[in-house]
Structure 1
Amino acid sequence: MVDDAGRARHPLLPQLRFDELIDELVSRLDQVKAARGRVQQLLQGVLAVSGGLDLDQVLHTIIETATDLVEARYGALGVIGGERGDRLERFVTVGLGQEEIDAIGPYPTGMGLLGQLIRHPVPLRLEEIADHPASFGFPDNHPPMRAFLGVPIRVRDEVYGNLYLTEKRGGAAFDADDEALLTALAAAAGVAIDNARLYDEARRRQRWMEATTELTQGLLSGAETLDVLTVLIERVRALAGADLVAVALPDPSGTSLTVQVACGAGAERLRGLTIPVAGSALGEAYASGTARSLAGPSWSTYPAWTDAGLDAAHIAPLGAAGRSRGVLVAAKCTGKLPFDAQVVTVLSDVAAQAAVALELADRRIDAEKLALFADRDRIGRDLHDLAIQRLFAAGMTLQSVLKITEKAAVRDRVSTAVADLDDTIKVIRSTIFALSEHDSPAQLPSLRAQVLQVCQDAADALGFAPAVRFTGPVDFEVPEQAVDHTLAVTREALSNAARHADASKVEVDLATADGLLTLRIADDGVGIPEQGRRSGLANIADRAAELNGEFAIEPRAGGGSVLVWKVPLDEGDAAG
């Protein structure tokens, strides 16, 4: 065929051109359809990551959505933390089973290629991971990975973390569309993370407040301190996600810390562990009043710590420097990431609240002691002003009767009554001295208390409890070196009475007067046989001689014997 100008015409060329246009149109429609599908998938992903408030669940949803969106086999979300914001403090993975994760070892902290996005928070797309200068290989048992796509997640203009995707399905490389979709998802993820983080922080702080309120109420109600701290650390362990939480308190000298309560991994080994303040991480936090976060090598000198598999820890002092009450220690097992910044902050806050609660508890105890001492002083004054004076007046009245009576029987009975009144006055005075004692709980028991304990211990052997009487301020006037001798003599004399005297009554009288401590022990038994063994009595005599005192044993009126042991109260005289 020819046209009007005589040129040849080709009827197939317009048809071919039309087919090409149809094919191009179909291709473009397929691309539009695919793009529409991916946009729809992105919108569904945005809805998915925005639909929760639990931070852990939101993070898992984000990385799962990201891997589906760009068809990646492996994915991870790394949360940036640390004091300088230069490491990963949390790592959420998709595509690896727990056995594979355990075989690989500890989670990454932000070295190599992962750290590239921390240092330069811009999208990063690679066809081959090994070709990047920051890449230095994978640890043992790590699956092979080639294609890589990384995108930062920003929360309120700050980089919260990064999305890491590898191994696009089918072996292809990630393209610009994948990068754009992942960048859009990261923007939505930032908003979702911010909401979830605020909610999580509010909920966590509420739980912390409940725990510290429970601590304060427990201590102020009079409960035992260690019992209350045990409940607190169990709550802290659950809320902080720690494998171990413990509280170490200082000894009276302040030179060492002892783990008093612990719960979690290795708790049994750690309870009772004593750590010196000087040269230790716990001691540094205690002395400086500054919290510390540290890892396993710092614990290498404490097998109880490393044997339990513990590694990263946070140490929070219970109070400021110079007034610290101890330290709170929270730890995680080897392989786990350290505590994030929010948990560290709250751990320090809880420790500070615990210090305040312990201080309030001590003040409550001091107030109760002051009230008790004041009440004792009042009782002592009443006994002195009322009871003793009335007894003394009654004794004076009876003594006046002696002057006007002529009957011997009456005189004897009145004299006996006067003597009994004098003895009663001595007992009341001794009680007043006892009420006046304001011993510190850290001090040893008083001499009065120890003598009573010796007499109580001897009751089983004697078959009855000895009668005990104190005269004078025995707890104040008896020198320290004479206390042990006094107790030993009392114990020996009661033992002799139980074994040899066959007595039905024993009286122990300890008195201080005229610069002397006098111990008088009388029984109504068979007395001391002339030819009996006297090794115990010799020991008593030696103790008296050692303190420049004297010892005598004599018959008791009406049967039995009376042991009299006297030593000077002056320490110089007692020492010779």
Structure 2
Amino acid sequence: MVSPAEQPSGVPPLGGSDAANTAGIGSLLDAFGAMAEDMDLDTVLERVTTAACQLVDARFGALGVVGPDRKLSQFVVVGLDDDAARRIGSLPEGHGVLGLLITDPRPLRLHDLREHPRSVGFPAHHPRMTSFLGVPIRIHGKVFGNLYLTEKNGGEDFSATDEQLLVALAAAAGVAIENSRLFDDATRRTRWLEGGLNAARELLEQDDAARNDFGVLTRHALYASHSNVAVVLRDFGHDRGVICEAAEGEHADAFVGRSGAEASLLEDLSAASEPLLLTAADAARLLPGAPPGVIDTLMCTMLSGTEDRQFLLIGRSAAAPPFSAVDHEMMQSFTSHVSLALELLGAHRRREQQAVFGDRDRIARDLHDLVIQRLFAAGLSIQGLRKFLTDSEPLNRITAVTSELDSTIRELRDTIYSLRSVPQITPTFTSSIFALVAEVFDGHELEPVVQLSGPLDAVVEQALAAHVRAILIEGLSNALRHADASSVTVALQATRDRLELTITDDGRGFEQAPSTGGLANMRHRAELSGGVLNISSTPGQGTVVVLTVPLGL
């Protein structure tokens, strides 16, 4: 028999017979082994509760985790099947006798917990419980939670030996839970680091021209954070609100293209700021298209390395674990990785653009200094042949050739001017689309939905972009001025072979489109772009405008 002086730390001396003590120590060692078999925190909590029931021969057991608000934030139950738990309803929050161990964390044994002054009774369908044993679980001197055991098999009360065994188990459980929490933190950090590095690597790859940069970012952010949804918002400034550019996760389609008017929530957030924690009410103001219950909390950071103020948000539902200190820390690391990648990607694209513009300047100089001068010299030489000719037909031929050369020189000069007139730095096509929609709807209560997909910035040339913007402005203006619509959706999609712009409203519609005015201008623009414009409308059901332009990639 182990003497008190030889007892391991945290294991009190056992009372009772040697046989009983030996059996108790054997059960305790078995419980220690069961707790050490897994590192997952939820699994460890369940195994601690199961081991406690087996150790003191209890019919029911529970482990309540004490949250920051001094209430039970998690409640693991053993002994109740799923049907019984469902009929009981919501889990305890820490009132009555359960709450006594939160306010006074000391071991508690009761003959009948219903007779205790702090007892608040049981909900309907709750099984009968009388005998009770509760002990706190401490980690580094701080109470993590409590073990609750009821209904010792055989109808007896829990003994002092049971209490001592459970106290010893709680001490070991504290170590197991702390190790599991450390393992969980390390796993979270690894997942965040992998997500950030994988996102940066994919962003910097140049193989896929059809890639959506922010779609890559949200996909990896969703994986890294283990959240329900990840979105990227763009802030247009000047009190125009924000718009969701990309989303991944649950109900992602409900977010993309939606506008939020409450950009003020993010105005103090900078790239150097710590992640901002937002409530469900804040989420509803920023993301008005979110279905109820999808987002309970949001964590938000600002991206750097982009043209506009853009933000990465990750959201979790009430059923998901709350954001931890590790999540706050690692989201900053993730954002720094992807922001650096976006900055490098932008620099690379600017260098490519500069290289293209440099080639254009060189071609323009060669055309001016070499080709035009040679054509001009050839024209003068042909003109010099006049003095050797007297017949009208050769002279007319010379006049026609020199006129053609003059016309060619003028066209070359126009080409040289167009090559040199391209601005060195231009906003992306998608940026101009977002800005255009925000400007058109500025001051209107109607909030449009904008959905962009495909390699728009890579495949849409400057001339085509001008026609698309003109058609979009006219279509949106018509919807605002004449349609009396309650919703307007803009969908712009680029594939390998075509560009498709769709403007849909639920306004009053019309029977026959007018042949003059704005709609006629839109058709003319479509012809100039080499595309086709289809307008379909039903009175009382709205209008759909579809522009299709072949790209021939």
User: Is TM (by shorter chain) over 0.5?
Assistant: yes
Q: 2:58 aligns with which of 58, 62, 72?
A: 72
Checking the alignment, whether the CA contact within 8 Å between 2:196 and 2:221 is kept in structure 1 is no
In structure 1, what is the equivalent of residue 202 of structure 2? 218
Structure 1 position 220, deviation (Å): 1.5
Aligned counterpart for 1:338 among listed residues 318, 322, 340: 322
Give me the whole-angstrom Cα distance separating, in 1, the residues matched to 2:144 and 2:257.
Answer: 41
Shift of the 146–372 alpha-carbon distance from structure 1 to 2, 3 Å rule, reads farther
Among candidates 395, 409, 431, match of residue 425 of structure 1: 409
Q: Is the 8 A contact 1:398 1:418 kept in 2?
A: yes
TM-superposed deviation, 1:335: 5.0
How many angstroms does 1:340 deviate by? 4.5
Residues 527-551 of structure 1: CA deviation (Å, up to 9, x unaligned): xxxxxxxxxxxxxxxxxxxxxxxxx
- Encode CA deviations 1:407-450: one digit per residue, 9 max, x unaligned: 43333233322222222222222223333313432448866976
Match status 1:229 vs 2:217: yes
Q: CA deviation at 1:40?
A: 0.6
For normalisation by structure 2, the TM-score amounts to 0.64
Counterpart position of 2:419? 435
Cα offset, 1:69, TM superposition: 1.1
Preserved contact between residue 65 and residue 144 of structure 2 (Cα < 8 Å): yes
Q: Residue 196 in 1 paired to residue 186 in 2?
A: no
What does residue 376 of structure 2 align with?
Answer: 392
| Amino acid of the structure 2 residue aligned with 1:272 | G
Say whether 1:363 aligns with 2:351. no
What secondary structure sits across from 1:383 in the alignment? helix
| Among 162, 168, 187, the residue aligned to 1:184 | 168
Report Cα offsets for 1:301-352 as digits up to 9, x if no partner: 7785454x335323222448x98521322212x5555345444544554345
Mapped contact 2:95–2:120 kept (Cα < 8 A) = no
In the alignment, is the contact (CA less than 8 A) between 1:230 and 1:262 conserved in 2?
yes
Larger radius of gyration: 1
1:48 is aligned to 2:34: yes
Where does residue 76 of structure 2 map in the other structure? 92
Aligned-partner Cα distance in 2 for 1:148–1:196 = 28
* Counterpart amino acid of residue 213 in structure 1: L
Task: Name the CA distance, whole Å, in 1 between partners of 2:324 and 2:314.
Answer: 15
Matching residue's letter, 1:382: D
Query: 1:331 is aligned with what amino acid?
Result: R
Map of 1:361-510 to 2, 5 A cutoff? 361-403=345-387, 405-436=389-420, 437-438=422-423, 439-441=426-428, 442-443=431-432, 491=524
Q: Which has the higher helix share?
A: 1
In the other structure, the counterpart of 2:488 is none
- Closer/same/farther in 2, CA of residues 451 and 250 from structure 1, 3 Å limit: closer
> Alpha-carbon deviation of 1:139?
5.4
1:242-321 superposed matches below 5 A: 242=227, 244-253=228-237, 255-278=240-263, 289-293=273-277, 296=280, 304-307=289-292, 309-310=293-294, 312-319=296-303
Deviation at 1:370, TM superposition (A): 2.8
What's the offset of the Cα at 1:230? 4.8
Q: Structure 2 residue aligned with 1:61, among 30, 42, 47?
A: 47
User: Per-residue deviation at 1:42?
Assistant: 0.2
Q: Partner of 2:313 in structure 1?
A: 328
Q: Which amino acid aligns with 1:62?
A: V
Change (3 A) 1:60 1:113: same
Rate the CA distance shift 1:175–1:29 in 2: closer, same or farther, 3 A.
Answer: closer
Amino acid at match of 2:257: G
Offset, 1:99? 3.8
Change (3 A) 1:140 1:287: farther
Cα–Cα, structure 1 residues 417 and 148, in superposed 2: closer, same or farther, change >3 Å? farther
Assess, with a 3 A threshold, how the Cα gap between structure 1 residues 490 and 265 changes in structure 2: closer, same or farther.
closer
Structure 1's 265 and 443: CA in aligned 2 closer, same or farther, altered over 3 A?
Answer: closer
Alignment match, 1:564? none
- Specify whether residues 288 and 215 from structure 1 end up closer, same or farther in structure 2 by C-alpha distance, changes over 3 A only: closer
Paired residues in the alignment total 428
Q: Deviations over 1:30-61 (max 9, x none)?
A: 83212211111001111221233333322221
> Letter of the aligned partner of 1:224 in structure 2?
N
1:61-140 maps to which residues of 2 (within 5 A)?
A: 61-82=47-68, 86-108=70-92, 113-129=97-113, 136=120
Structure 2 SS opposite 1:67 = helix
Assess, with a 3 A threshold, how the Cα gap between structure 1 residues 344 and 428 changes in structure 2: closer, same or farther: same
Q: Measure how far apart 1:249 and its partner are.
A: 1.2
SS at match of 2:296: strand
TM-superposed deviation, 1:131: 5.8
How far apart, CA to CA, are the structure 2 residues paired with 1:233 and 1:39? 48
Gaps of 5+ in 1: 1-27, 455-483, 496-576
Deviation at 1:298, TM superposition (A): 5.5
Q: 1:330 to 1:412 in 2, by over 3 A?
A: same
Q: Is the 8 A contact 1:380 1:432 kept in 2?
A: yes
Distance 2:303 2:162 in 1: 52
- What is the rounded CA distance, in whole Å, between the counterparts of 1:411 and 1:55 in structure 2? 98
Alpha-carbon distance in structure 1 between the residues aligned to 2:36 and 2:83: 31
Q: Percent identity?
A: 36
Distance 1:432 1:396, change over 3 A: same
Whether the aligned pair in 2 keeps the contact of 1:277 and 1:283 (CA below 8 Å) is no
Equivalent position of 1:153 in the other structure? 137
Q: CA RMSD in A?
A: 4.3
Instruction: Report the AA paired with residue 194 of structure 1.
Output: E
Shift of 1:219: 1.5
User: What is the alpha-carbon distance in structure 2 between the residues aligned to residue 275 and residue 54 of structure 1?
Assistant: 39
Q: Distance in 2 between matches of 1:109 and 1:246?
A: 31
* In structure 2, C-alpha distance between the alignment counterparts of 1:94 and 1:211, rounded to whole Å: 36
Read off the aligned partner of 2:188 and give its amino acid letter.
R
Asked if 1 retains the 8 angstrom alpha-carbon contact of 2:15 and 2:21, the reply is no
Separation in structure 2 between the aligned mates of residue 174 and residue 154 of structure 1, nearest angstrom:
22
The residue aligned with 2:451 is none
Query: One-letter code of the match for 2:301?
Result: P
CA-CA distance at 1:186 after TM superposition? 1.8
Are the counterparts in 2 of residues 81 and 341 from structure 1 also a CA contact under 8 Å? no
Contact 2:229-2:315 within 8 A present in 1 as well = yes
The code of the aligned residue for 2:37 comes to: G
Q: Which has the higher contact order (CA 8 A, sep 6+)?
A: 2
